[in-house]
């Protein structure tokens, strides 16, 4: 996918003047909320303005995403198709309101078309490449998107790597958050009740009967940071499922580890930051303001350039991750269980394939220290 972010302003300024060509809003900064124009849904056919291809770029919570091209300029965009309903309109409205943030994917146009007897909302968004940068910079960029959302009382509720996209292939590209299918406005403490989540990134309180708030996004930040620093998530299903009773129990208890060799060279500051994000009690969890002010994030401390095992682990376990993603896609987000009736397996008893593979590598390294040296 190719972004046109370098040739178009991210958002018009309050005076109506456009940013100079080639310039973007500084990372993490945004224009005043009131400057965002009212969302106008177009009634003409989208094919009047865009060439729609059959290339599927991805599947969001509420609809698929296609590659399209603007006819006048040839610029490439992403088109998300949603069946028109109150939930779809809420997703579009919240995403539109969040678009002033430079770290959130911008909505360009919204069309209302009739398809096979049903109205369909067609959302034209910037299209992006995905690639990897250093962990601290990535986490700061994600934090800037969450900071903007929480400031306008929106909980995203589905922060995960699949919803994080880079604007271009250039090193200076901006990381942007997308997919507002689970997003909801929250104006008071513990005002959310619906268990919307992707299993590996879900906060403990979302799994239980209690209400929750936007601090669930902070837990997801902790899971993403954990994965960035080692290549695998902190919580697993032991049965190859998207989520299992045992995995839910471990999430509820906050049971995870920092096993070697992947974590042997990761700083204690980074580990402690993860611990404060993965607090099972939401009131004890780090807020987005505290996160953005943390030395490891704002780099007021010297973040060491330590080589990580992440890329190697992800490549070696690519096939297993594909199985995990398939299971996660088919999982029901409304699953709830009686947690008091669940018996939890310890990490040592786990039969998860990723854990099994790492245990075997660790055993081989201990048996043959010379081959493990690097």
Best-predicted range by mean pLDDT among 57-71, 77-91, 165-179?
Answer: 77-91
Binding positions: 80
Choose the catalytic residue: 49, 84, 109, 158.
Answer: 158
The pLDDT, as a whole number, for residue 306 is 61
Is the per-residue pLDDT at 163 higher than 80? yes
Please give the annotated binding residues for ATP, written as ranges.
Answer: 80
**Does pLDDT of 194 surpass 80?**
no
The 10s digit of each residue's pLDDT in 310-352 is 666 666 655 555 554 444 443 323 322 333 332 333 444 444 4
Q: Are 165 and 130 in contact (CB under 8 A)?
A: yes
**pLDDT tier at 371 (50, 70, 90 boundaries)?**
very low
pLDDT bin (cut points 50, 70, 90) of residue 356 is low
CB 3 within 8 A of CB 106: no
Prior bond of 216 cis (ω within 30°): no
Tell the burial category of 216 from Cβ atoms under 10 Å away from its Cβ (0-12, 13-18, 19+): buried
Partners of 65 in the beta sheet?
Answer: 58, 80
Residue 192: the pLDDT is 44
Tokens 């204690």 correspond to what residue?
268
- Three-state SS sequence of 44-68: CCHHHCEEEEEEEEEECCCCEEEEE
More confident residue, 133 or 41: 41
Please state, in angstroms and rounded to a whole number, the distance separating the CA atoms of residues 104 and 124. Answer: 14
Place 68 in a pLDDT band, splitting at 50, 70 and 90. very high
Closest C-alpha among 315, 229, 356, 266 to residue 364: 356
- Mean pLDDT computed over every residue of the chain: 69
When pLDDT is averaged across residues 187-206 and rounded to a whole number, the result is 52
- Residue at token pair 């992947």: 262
Query: Which residues partner with 206 through β-bridges?
Result: none
Higher pLDDT, 233 or 249: 233
Q: Note whether 309 and 261 are within 8 A (CB).
A: yes
Q: State yes or no: is 158 an active-site residue.
A: yes
Whether residue 164 is predicted with pLDDT greater than 50 in this model: the reply is yes
Instruction: List residues bridging with 212 in a β-sheet.
Output: 192
Cβ–Cβ < 8 Å for 254, 205: no
Tell me: the pLDDT tens digits for 24-48? Answer: 444 444 444 445 567 888 888 999 9
- Max distance between CA atoms of the chain, in angstroms, equals 69
Residue 127 has pLDDT above 60, yes or no: yes
Domains and CATH numbers, the chain: 50-126 (3.30.200.20), 135-367 (1.10.510.10)
Q: Roughly how many angstroms between the first and final C-alpha of the chain, as a whole number?
A: 37
- Which of 97-101, 179-183, 345-349 ranks highest by mean pLDDT? 97-101
For residue 328, give every residue at least 6 positions away whose Cβ sits within 8 Å of its Cβ, in sequence order, or none. Answer: 198, 199, 200, 242, 243
* Cβ-Cβ contacts under 8 Å for 284 (sequence gap 6 or more): none
Collapsing DSSP to helix, strand or coil, 70 comes out as strand
Can you tell me the distance from the alpha carbon of 365 to that of 354, in angstroms, rounded to the nearest whole number?
A: 17
Q: Which residues pair with 122 in a beta bridge?
A: 81, 111
* Average pLDDT of span 105-121: 73
Q: Identify the top-confidence range among 106-110, 117-121, 161-165, 305-309.
A: 106-110
- DSSP H stretches of helix in the chain: 86-98, 135-151, 204-207, 216-230, 245-253, 268-277, 288-292, 295-298, 310-316, 318-330, 353-367, 369-372
Beta strands at 41-42 and 107-115: parallel, antiparallel or unpaired: parallel
* pLDDT surpassing 80 at residue 269: yes
pLDDT number for residue 146 = 94
Alpha-carbon distance 150 to 146, whole Å? 6
**Please, is 65 exposed, middle or buried when counting C-beta atoms within 10 Å of its C-beta (0-12, 13-18, 19+)?**
buried
What is the pLDDT averaged over residues 228-232? 83
Which structure tokens are listed for 137? 């910079």
What is the tens place of the pLDDT at every residue in 273-307? 999 999 988 889 999 999 999 999 987 556 555 66
Q: Which of 132-136, 153-157, 293-297 has the lowest mean pLDDT?
A: 132-136
Q: Tell me, what's the pLDDT at 234? A: 83
Please give the Cα distance from 18 to 35 (Å, whole number): 13
């Amino acid at each position: 996918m190719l972004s046109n972010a370098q040739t178009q302003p991210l958002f018009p300024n309050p005076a109506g003047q456009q940013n100079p060509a080639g310039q973007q809003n500084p990372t993490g900064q945004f224009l005043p909320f009131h400057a965002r124009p009212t969302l106008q849904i177009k009634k003409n056919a989208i094919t009047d303005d865009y060439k729609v291809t059959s290339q599927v770029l991805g599947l969001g919570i509420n609809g698929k995403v296609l590659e399209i091209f603007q006819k006048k300029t040839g610029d490439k965009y992403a088109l998300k198709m949603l069946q028109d309903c109150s939930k779809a309109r809420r997703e579009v409205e919240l995403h539109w309101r969040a678009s002033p943030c430079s770290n959130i994917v911008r909505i360009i146009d919204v069309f209302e078309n009739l398809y096979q007897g049903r109205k369909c909302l067609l959302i034209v968004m910037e299209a992006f490449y995905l690639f990897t940068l250093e962990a601290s910079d990535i986490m700061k960029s994600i934090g800037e998107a969450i900071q903007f959302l929480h400031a306008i009382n929106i909980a995203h509720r589905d922060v995960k790597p699949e919803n994080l996209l880079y604007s271009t292939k250039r090193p200076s590209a901006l990381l942007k958050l997308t997919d507002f299918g689970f997003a909801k406005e929250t104006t008071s403490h513990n005002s959310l009740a619906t268990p919307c989540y992707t299993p590996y990134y879900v906060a403990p309180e979302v799994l239980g009967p209690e209400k929750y708030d936007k601090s669930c996004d902070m837990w997801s930040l902790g899971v993403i940071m954990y994965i960035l620093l080692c290549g695998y998530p902190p919580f697993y299903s032991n049965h190859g499922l998207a989520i299992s009773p045992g995995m839910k129990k471990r999430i509820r208890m906050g049971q995870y580890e920092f096993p070697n060799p992947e974590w042997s060279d990761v700083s204690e500051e980074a580990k402690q930051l993860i611990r404060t994000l993965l607090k099972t009690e939401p009131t004890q969890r780090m807020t987005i303001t505290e996160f953005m002010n943390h030395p490891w994030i704002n780099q007021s401390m010297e973040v060491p350039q330590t080589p990580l095992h992440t890329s190697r682990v992800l490549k070696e376990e690519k096939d297993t991750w594909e199985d995990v993603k398939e299971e996660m896609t088919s999982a029901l987000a409304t699953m709830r269980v009686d947690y008091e009736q669940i018996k939890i397996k310890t990490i040592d008893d786990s039969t998860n394939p990723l854990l099994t593979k790492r245990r075997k590598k660790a055993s081989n390294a201990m048996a043959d220290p010379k081959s493990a040296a690097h």
